[in-house]
Structure 1
């Protein structure tokens, strides 16, 4: 009997089978994560001993080997095409917050509408992680127990290249939509925003309280003074260079095997440099 494991038999090709219209990440070189929350996600994987093996799946993610990927409360399920005819099923689990935990989180977010405004603008303020930590909630996994990984491929190494490819895709999806991070913890975009509106109360206008008018001459010393000393916190988040490219459909043409979106990205980054 051959010493070769059964999955290394010669009847399977050495390279992964190509996928028609597969899902591929936009980054063709260098780092994948651009926003702080996606970088934090990959950094957490590094700290948990997972990140060192992620490079195994980078080429899979870039070449479009991912057939499908669905993010739901507490889980990510994907199909990744390998060397066998049937795609491998990848499952990643992160504990979703329960009703009581999300109740505390939503109330804290509703108490300061700035967080919802920042999320709707396509950003996630760094303070949100501190806010959740103060409630005893971790936005990202904190230990190996918070992260489960499974793939139907025969590779005994965890994560295998198929799992690693999905992690890269998740990082890029988080870049494009920070609500995806919260969806993984148990709240999709529509449900979260509806709950925040409900917790902020009625949308009816507040009654106007009439006050005695003060002569303008008595207000001149303070008329032009700034009211809130921390106005910078209300500034909209600065989008990443080329973020608009991630919001438009991919053009069905390529130039020297490079996607038009990737060729345009350096130009956007150059224009954003002072």
Structure 2
């Protein structure tokens, strides 16, 4: 099971230190209660104001190290080399597997506890204060919806990364063709079927007892305000479309030809 970037960021503060665990828990509660504001991310630093017990909020800064240019070369190579990474990044989603593949190549996208430094005004707490944990949770919340906060903290923002990826791909094309040459593509299956369509086995299907059972199970979507339920409105359309699809696949005019006997009947 893949761990999300937000959860992985949270896990950086984990460990056997019971005092740290307590402060992390309190820091998360501080963030969730709305007492962390003015969150600002920059290369190597995140700052915010955290409302504590006094009237004036604490100005808190958390610093993490930047990735070196050599480390970024590894990350950009991975992003430029895999379509699924680029597609997810462009869509604003974390590239699943990127952090693990980068780590296997010797580059850690996520910092370790030992690499973090916190300046928390006059909070009087050490080594990792509650207000620092609150700011850490604010970053985790952003990573729950976008991968770019982590990449920015590690040294490069969205526009820079996208330019680097495009440049790396152009360089790769200049040094040689990417992918498979056209003349080596097997046209069988692209322009003609690999085997007679009549030989393709179509599994027998069981006709549900009710139309569009998925709609019945899922119920109305959130905010639905129609006079009819979603199942009543769309059920006949789904059932009709399924019947037409069965006719196209099998050439059967009668639904009964496709029905397997129900052992419960």
TM-score normalised to the size of structure 2? 0.61
- Counterpart of 1:163 in structure 2 is 132
Alignment root-mean-square deviation, CA: 3.4
Higher helix share: 2
Distance 1:222 1:145, change over 3 A: farther
Q: Give aligned pairs, total.
A: 189
For the residue of structure 2 that corresponds to 1:186, the secondary structure is coil
Is contact 1:41–1:171 with CA below 8 Å preserved after alignment?
yes
Matches for 1:59-78 after TM superposition, within 5 Å? 59-78=29-48
* One of 44, 61, 65 as aligned partner of 2:12: 44
Is contact 1:42–1:51 with CA below 8 Å preserved after alignment?
no
- Counterpart of 2:151 in structure 1 is 182
Answer 1 or 2: higher relative contact order, Cα 8 Å, separation at least 6.
1
Report whether the alignment pairs 1:141 with 2:114.
no
Give the CA deviation at 1:132.
0.8
Give the CA deviation at 1:220.
3.2
- Counterpart of 1:130 in structure 2 is 100
Give the CA deviation at 1:200.
0.7
Distance 1:138 1:220, change over 3 A: same
Is contact 2:36–2:48 with CA below 8 Å preserved after alignment?
yes
Distance 1:53 1:222, change over 3 A: farther
Cα distance in structure 2, aligned partners of 1:36 and 1:172: 11
Distance 1:209 1:170, change over 3 A: closer
The unaligned stretches of length 5 or more in structure 1 are 1-34, 225-266, 269-274
Is contact 1:94–1:141 with CA below 8 Å preserved after alignment?
yes
Distance 1:222 1:45, change over 3 A: farther
Distance 1:62 1:223, change over 3 A: farther
- Counterpart of 1:201 in structure 2 is 170
For the residue of structure 2 that corresponds to 1:166, the secondary structure is helix
Matches for 1:1-274 after TM superposition, within 5 Å? 36-47=4-15, 49=17, 50-142=20-112, 144-201=113-170, 219-221=192-194
Cα distance in structure 2, aligned partners of 1:52 and 1:141: 21
